[in-house]
Amino acid sequence: MINAKVTGLRGVELGVRDLHQSVAFYSHVWGLEPVGQQGDTIRLRGNGAEHHVVTLRQRPTPGLLGVHFAAADRDAVVALHAKAKAFGAAVLGEPADLPRDAGGGFGFSFRSLEGHVLNVSCDVARHPNVVNDRSKPVKLSHVVLNSARIGDERTFFIDLLGFKLSDATQMMEFIRCSADHHSIALARSEGPSLNHMAYEMTNIDGLMRGAGRLKQSGFNVEWGLGRHGPGDNVFTYFVEPNGFVTEYTTEVQQVDEADFEPHDAQYWDKFPLRPCRWGMGGHPSNRLKAAMGGDISVADPSDGKRCEEIMAKTLGR
């Protein structure tokens, strides 16, 4: 029987205003490793097996260009493509072999109800070597999308891609496609944009080492250190040179399907010590809140230049 659902989050695709500066940030500050460049596009991997977790493309205006998901095999990809067409989704072509510089594989693209480009693929190349450096991200943990039609978008992900609801608050709906508590969250907003993207660290010590590297590089912690309510994950948030919100996270709740029960907004309204279970995370900065709302004007032009200088010094050693 064909398992017509996605099985995990692969990566995120971003349009960036200065490709060189963005690569400098994501490689020499954030901790990813370039795995290939083709024209105006560079892909970077984490310390896990996934071929790449971020794709950067030079664009006049920064923005979210796509979210990538895994499927079990070619039959699942073909079944999901047919399902998307039957669902009435805007499908962007037939399933096809993917470029070798992107890890190869087989997949297709389509749009969510609000226009986010979603990609499903299988058989993408994996990395056999895993770098032993806990200060660097292992994988893309989750992506949070702003949505003006949160109920419709949640149904879209659940009915079409096989996601399951994990939790709901007044602000967000958390949905999963793997054992992680959430791979996607939908945040109530006036329209579609990227709220933030979170990268998983090996443990709290690794998260702190990574956060320390960011601070040493001139990037302030805009929220955290803390531990969330839904998902139970540890968090620190930053704003990167394009105005996107990036999060280091760890210890994301692992869902046991046998006995897991979602909680609604009323439950979380009564949960003690929100928004941080530890009572020490405080609240997000005004800059972070604006960036989470999709306001890329909060980007600081000096951040990218500083990243270039860091990269030059590192490569010059």
* Range of lowest pLDDT (110-114, 132-136, 184-188): 132-136
CB-based burial label for 171 (10 Å; 0-12, 13-18, 19+): middle
pLDDT band at 115 (very low <50, low <70, confident <90, very high): very high
Say what the pLDDT of residue 177 is.
98
pLDDT (mean) for 96-102: 95
Mean pLDDT across the chain: 96
Task: Give me the pLDDT at residue 317, please.
Answer: 57
CB 222 within 8 A of CB 287: yes
> What pLDDT is attached to residue 2?
76
In the predicted model, is pLDDT for residue 314 greater than 90?
A: no
pLDDT band at 243 (very low <50, low <70, confident <90, very high): very high
Model pLDDT for residues 143-163, shown as the tens digit of each residue: 999 999 999 999 999 999 999
Per-residue three-class SS string for the chain? CCCCCEEEEEEEEEEECCHHHHHHHHHHHCCCEEEEEECCEEEEECCCCECCCEEEEECCCCEEEEEEEEECCHHHHHHHHHHHHHHCCEECCCCEECCHHHCCCEEEEEECCCCCEEEEEECCCECCCCCCCCCCCCEEEEEEEEECCHHHHHHHHHHHHCCEEEEECCCEEEEECCCECCCEEEEECCCCEEEEEEEECCCHHHHHHHHHHHHHCCCCCCEEEEECCCCCCEEEEEECCCCCEEEEEECCCECCCCCCCCECHHHHHCCCCCCCCCCCCCCCCHHHHHHHCCCHHHCCHHHHHHHHHHHHHHHCC
Please answer whether residues 181 and 254 qualify as being in contact, where contact means their C-beta atoms are separated by less than 8 angstroms: yes
> Mind listing the pLDDT tens digit for each residue in 220-232?
999 999 999 999 9
Give the closest residue to 214 by CA, choosing from 55, 279, 223.
Answer: 223
Mean pLDDT score, 5-31: 97
**Res 316 pLDDT > 80:** no
Question: Is the pLDDT confidence value at 245 over 60?
Answer: yes
Question: Can you give the pLDDT at residue 66?
Answer: 98
- The pLDDT of residue 274 is 85
Show Cβ contacts of residue 100 under 8 Å, excluding neighbours closer than 6 positions.
Answer: none
User: Which residue bears the tokens 């493509």?
Assistant: 81
Measured torsion, CA atoms of residues 308, 29, 119, 243, in degrees rounded to the nearest 10: -70
Express each pLDDT in 37-82 by its tens digit. Answer: 999 999 999 999 999 999 999 999 999 999 999 999 999 999 999 9
Say what percent of the chain tops pLDDT 70. 99
On the question of a cis peptide bond just before residue 113, with omega within 30 degrees of 0, the verdict is no
pLDDT band at 1 (very low <50, low <70, confident <90, very high): low
